[in-house]
Structure 1
Amino acid sequence: MSTPSPADVSPLSPAEERFMRSLTRLLVVLPRKLDADLTRSTGLSATDYFVLVHLSEAPRRRMRMTDLATGSAMSMSGVSRVIDRLQKIGLVARERCPDDGRGWEAVLTDDGLRGLQDAWVVHLASARAHIFDHLGEVDLESVAAAFERIADC
């Protein structure tokens, strides 16, 4: 996006300004709360948890490291650090790709699946307490669709 001139930009309405400020605060505060609940209860960070989720949903619970990085919205070095940490505690193994032997795959171990199942309960309770219990009658489908449009533009 190029830098627009001040004449080309409409000011935000009071409602838009309030929304923008509350969204900005939420984007900082909510991940910290979800991460703190997981870390305190399971020793896993939210990043660890979501990497394990991606692996659990993959065929044969394995993914090429590059695909895992893309799916997790992480850099290769970032996902490598997470996999190294999870490998040290036995939740993930790293194996050569059987297709070409050049790349590496992260593989969710049986212990990793059990750890993910334990963490899932904590994550679910945290999501309910910090998000869903506060939404009332909000149309979640519409909000999710709007978030997807924003993320994809």
Structure 2
Amino acid sequence: MTIFGLWIINKAGGLVYQKNFADGLALLSSNEYLVLAGTLHGIHAITSRLSPAGRSSGVEVIEAETFKMTIFLTATGTKFVLLTSLTDSTADAALQRIYEAYADFVMKSPFHTPEMPIRTEKFDVKVAEVIKVFA
């Protein structure tokens, strides 16, 4: 499995964290990443209301020709998006571990303002460790 990148999108649809881990995805500008995150947030909101069987949490996996997006929605509305190869089978476990690191190193930090960009070095280190384990 190859992990290409990680996005964290706040509950308003803003991209608060973006990191690329492997070559293979197009290199985009920061504005393009912001637009994509906002678009994915809108698609996620729409799909949560389209379920014929009642309430849904929205889209969880999007498969393209060359990669797969796995989306983990937290109880607070924050979305963790992992971009992986199509053969990935462990994205859910990786996202769970990244979410735990987010809770430990970002949300418990007195220097982090909720819904704002994540600039916590300990979180970056922990994410890199998780990616090594699952890549």
Give the structure-1-normalised TM-score.
0.26
Give the structure-2-normalised TM-score.
0.28
> Which of structures 1 and 2 has the bigger CA Rg?
1
More strand by share: 2
